[in-house]
Structure 1
Amino acid sequence: MWFDLVVAELEELSREDLIVLVRAQSERIAGLEEANKELAAKLARLEHLLSRNSGNSSVPPSRDDDPGRSAPKPKRSGGRGSKPRGKQPGAPGANLAWRQDPDDRVDRFPQGRCECGTELAQGRDLGIVDQYQQHEIPPVAVKVTQYDQHAVACGCGQVHTAARPEGARSGPVGYGPNLQALAVYLLAVQFLPVGRVLGLLESLTGTAPSAGFVHGMLARAAGLLDVVDKRIRALLTLAHVVAADETPLRVGPAGSKKYLLVACTELYTHYLLGGRDLDTFKALAIADLAAGSVIVHDRYQNYDAAPYAHLLHQLCTAHLVRDLETAVELYPDEHWPTQIRDALRGLIHEANTARAAGADQIDPTVKDELVRRFRHGVLVGLKTTASHGDRPGERKTRLLLEELHDRPDDVLRFTTDLRVPATSNQAERDLRPSKIQQNISGRLTSEDRTRDRFQILGYLSTATKHGLNQITVLRQAILGRPWMPELPATV
């Protein structure tokens, strides 16, 4: 009945009125179609963002469990390159070993009375029947030592006064180098806020330094490391290969942001706090590398800028493989994304195997076949995506393929020079402390103290890479004689 009424009303309209009505309806339909397209695009973009995880993007693993986010696909098990869980073959083990020279020995005898009523202390010793070694730390408590500096008069008339103990500061009372080193360690390495450091020191030692003293230790320790910091930077510039990376840091007033840059090798770590601009990159240690040296990086555009024109490049293959995972998901019916990814993984595996075996090159036959698969996959991918659509991720995949095609030497340099790592994982590992700090302590309020933190961390990271204990080298620094990495014999 309702339909009949509508038809009757339309029949009463003139031709001109019907034309106006049809045009209005057409415009409304067109508007709805456009709105639907926008909503579909937004939905596709949202689905793409939710599909990003630590396996196909730079999203950290901690975000993989966010509501709605797709978890990474399970890693392949079995086959070449798979590893069992736990300790790997050849890796150094760690266990609580029996010591032939314990620090102390304690004889223990049964206590009490025998069932017959005789005191067990009167029994005959039958010798040791069980042995147990316990590794323990002594109770920690602050020990106050008063140093009385005497003066003596020489027979010639000169008076000599004893110096204060090593590490002593002005004033009648002060904290010793061990406690100072522990405070700096808790702040700079364990990322504890000042308040928690105070609570921990009081719980462990029975003393409670002031917040100002603890926080001031950052500036004092960093100031004692200026010379070491310059030495580490200089040593980095002598390296053949340096890995570099950058990450944002919440520093200063709310809403502000800085970037932490790192240049590093297996032996040295140097941090720089600044922006993500070219001026900051010019100040990074890699700008002073010799011509022909290699920088390993994540393809950020500044690494290809003029200050680095004299350097060779290795594009981080971990980032490339992650981006190729996106291509695998975007083109599930195509073979080329998997072919490129697997060929690149195969080359990485062959390079690692050759390096571990002490070889100076990858097996040429294996290498040539994998490189052939890699290049053919790139060519097919370029042909397939010549007219890519508007789906999220398609343009990024096209740009990735163009880079793989146009920069083959920078992608595969690790296959021709085994001194070059395939990834910038070393730089990412050296940046990880900054990300942990942000998760634990949040925003850092002072740029100056943040620079101090990372100058200290650069020193400690370098010392750790040389097999040294962090507390030990911190104590040395506070005593005014910091550990200094040696210069190479050729310098």
Structure 2
Amino acid sequence: MPYDRISEYLKDAYNMPISQGSIKNLLDSFTEKSSLAYQRIKENIAKAVVVGADETGVKVDGEKFWIHTWQNPYNTFIAVSESRGIKAVKDNFPDGFPSSILVSDAWAAQLATPALSHQLCMAHLLRDLNHLIEIYPNHDWPVNMKQLLQDSLRARKTLEKEGFQSNSKQLEQIEVGLDELLKIEVDKKYKKITSFRKRLVKNRNYLFKFLYHSLVPSDNNGSERAIRNVKIKQKVSGQFRSESGARSFAIIRSVIDTIIKRNKNIFDCLAITANLVPE
């Protein structure tokens, strides 16, 4: 929310006249006090076993910027960049994630990020397959691939109930079924199917990590939730008025989201942060 609207709201709702400059100073001070927690969140993400990544475009003073998030069930790290690509990753995590399985929607920069391994988002793949089925209703390949991916999701539910070593035969059938489908040469006139198939062939080893690691999700929904507040902010305000304002939002939102994930009292934690004495 712009400073002038915050000022008007406080005056109308609470009869608390406060200047825009004072609001900016308060936010700058709180951002500085939140920086230590922000850095610790970043360190936690860097050494996590599983990390989800996503990005979304945002306007900053009329220019196109990107908000990136890297998160897991206990931490959310949000950062602002002029780049959507690998530069944003290197600026924040120059070593990548050598100990992590990185879950993403297969954006090129995410797949180019050094990591122990990767997991593609099943929800995105199924969405793509639904589109292929819609535009090529008489072709069996996308139908069969969709069925296989749905079988893998059902297998995951079974594994969660019975243990991740309990159903090796079913997993073997899924792996064999995938290889058989990827071997099928699709007629080039079905351009979108051939393109999708090539993408799966290239990233074949990143499809079913979630069937072998209990902490790896089958989708990237956690990252989409972590970044959703950026879109809400943009709908309310239209844009960030400055890069420093966008960075303040990223820092404070990272801290708030992490507090929520850890089931802590938001007000108490923010009050403790606000009362920190700068070094």
CA shift for structure 1 position 467: 0.5
Q: Does 1:299 align with 2:106?
A: yes
Q: Does 1:426 align with 2:233?
A: no
Residue equivalent to 1:350: 155
- Unmatched segments (≥5 aa) in structure 2: none
Asked if structure 1 preserves the Cα contact closer than 8 Å seen for 2:98 and 2:114, the reply is no
Q: Give the match's secondary structure for 1:257.
A: strand
Residue equivalent to 1:37: none
TM-score for the superposition, normalised by structure 2: 0.90
Amino acid at match of 2:189: H
Matches within 5 A, 1:59-208: 192-208=1-17
Q: Give the match's secondary structure for 1:250.
A: strand
CA shift for structure 1 position 428: 0.9
Matches of 1:264 and 1:430, distance apart in 2: 7
Higher strand share: 2
CA shift for structure 1 position 311: 2.7
Residue equivalent to 2:186: 384
Cα 1:335/1:438, change in 2 over 3 Å: same
Q: Give the match's secondary structure for 2:208.
A: helix
Matches of 1:206 and 1:300, distance apart in 2: 48
Deviations 1:245-286 (A, max 9, x none): 11111112x3x2011111100000111111113322212338
Q: Does 1:319 align with 2:121?
A: no
Deviations 1:328-352 (A, max 9, x none): 1122012221111122122123214
Residue equivalent to 2:92: 284
Matches of 2:53 and 2:93, distance apart in 1: 10
Amino acid at match of 1:319: H
Match of 1:449 among 222, 240, 245: 245
Cα 1:201/1:362, change in 2 over 3 Å: farther
Deviations 1:208-235 (A, max 9, x none): 2112212332211110011111111111
Match of 2:30 among 221, 226, 234: 221
Identity percentage of aligned residues: 23
Matches of 1:322 and 1:330, distance apart in 2: 13
Asked if structure 2 preserves the Cα contact closer than 8 Å seen for 1:242 and 1:296, the reply is yes
Amino acid at match of 1:297: S
TM-score for the superposition, normalised by structure 1: 0.53
Matches of 1:232 and 1:481, distance apart in 2: 20
Asked if structure 1 preserves the Cα contact closer than 8 Å seen for 2:101 and 2:115, the reply is no
Amino acid at match of 2:276: G
- Unmatched segments (≥5 aa) in structure 1: 1-191, 483-491
Q: Which runs of 4+ in 1 moved over 6 A?
A: none
Asked if structure 2 preserves the Cα contact closer than 8 Å seen for 1:350 and 1:362, the reply is no
Task: After superposing the two structures, state which structure 1 stretch, 357-366 or 243-252, moved more.
Answer: 357-366
Residue equivalent to 1:238: 47
Deviations 1:284-331 (A, max 9, x none): 33834334x2111121212233xx345311111121111111211122
Matches of 2:224 and 2:109, distance apart in 1: 17
Cα 1:284/1:361, change in 2 over 3 Å: farther
Cα 1:416/1:324, change in 2 over 3 Å: same
Matches within 5 A, 1:452-491: 452-480=248-276
Matches of 1:410 and 1:260, distance apart in 2: 25
Asked if structure 2 preserves the Cα contact closer than 8 Å seen for 1:340 and 1:378, the reply is no
Q: Does 1:366 align with 2:162?
A: no
Cα 1:333/1:437, change in 2 over 3 Å: same
Cα 1:472/1:251, change in 2 over 3 Å: same
Q: Which has the higher contact order (CA 8 A, sep 6+)?
A: 2
Task: After superposing the two structures, state which structure 1 stretch, 433-442 or 366-375, moved more.
Answer: 366-375
Residue equivalent to 1:336: 141
Cα 1:451/1:358, change in 2 over 3 Å: farther
Between the two proteins, the alignment pairs up a number of residues equal to: 277
Matches of 1:223 and 1:336, distance apart in 2: 54
Cα 1:301/1:471, change in 2 over 3 Å: same
Amino acid at match of 1:316: C
Asked if structure 2 preserves the Cα contact closer than 8 Å seen for 1:263 and 1:286, the reply is no
Matches of 1:328 and 1:361, distance apart in 2: 34
Matches of 2:169 and 2:94, distance apart in 1: 35
Asked if structure 1 preserves the Cα contact closer than 8 Å seen for 2:57 and 2:64, the reply is yes
Amino acid at match of 1:384: V
Asked if structure 2 preserves the Cα contact closer than 8 Å seen for 1:245 and 1:261, the reply is yes
Q: Give the match's secondary structure for 2:60.
A: coil
Amino acid at match of 1:294: I
Cα 1:243/1:429, change in 2 over 3 Å: same
Q: Give the match's secondary structure for 1:423.
A: coil
Cα 1:349/1:435, change in 2 over 3 Å: farther
